[in-house]
Amino acid sequence: MNKTNLNELKSYGIDNILIHEDAFTRNSPDNVKKWIDEANGLDIKVHIWIQCFYKDENWLKPILENRSINRTRFDEIIDKL
């Protein structure tokens, strides 16, 4: 994120960027917000990629063995928002 030249991306016609949710733990939330504001100022939309079904180096099933929704996992995801 910090090495990204937003002006250069804009010059190539890029108007949407995905950043991983870890950006908020690797940087201060204020710095991430400032960077997002800079991108938005160039009419670049920033989307945050929230990793939903991978935790502690394991893939998690969204559907349980009985074919029901893993409600606990979905609630954890919703609580992150």
How many C-alpha atoms does 15 have within 13 Å on its Cβ side? Answer: 2
Residues 11, 29 share a domain: yes
Measured CA to CA, the distance from residue 47 to residue 32 in angstroms comes to: 12
Residue 80 has pLDDT above 80, yes or no: no
Residues 11, 1 share a domain: yes
Give CA angle at 27 (51, 14), nearest 5°.
65
How many distinct structural domains can be found in the chain? 2
Contact 47, 17 (CB under 8 A): yes
| pTM exceeds 0.75, yes or no | no
Range of the domain at 80: 51-81
Tokens 């989307």 — which residue? Answer: 47
Residues 32, 18 share a domain: yes
Per-residue pLDDT reduced to its tens digit, 7-58: 999 999 999 999 999 999 899 999 999 999 999 999 999 999 988 888 888 8
- Type and span of the H or E element at 65: none
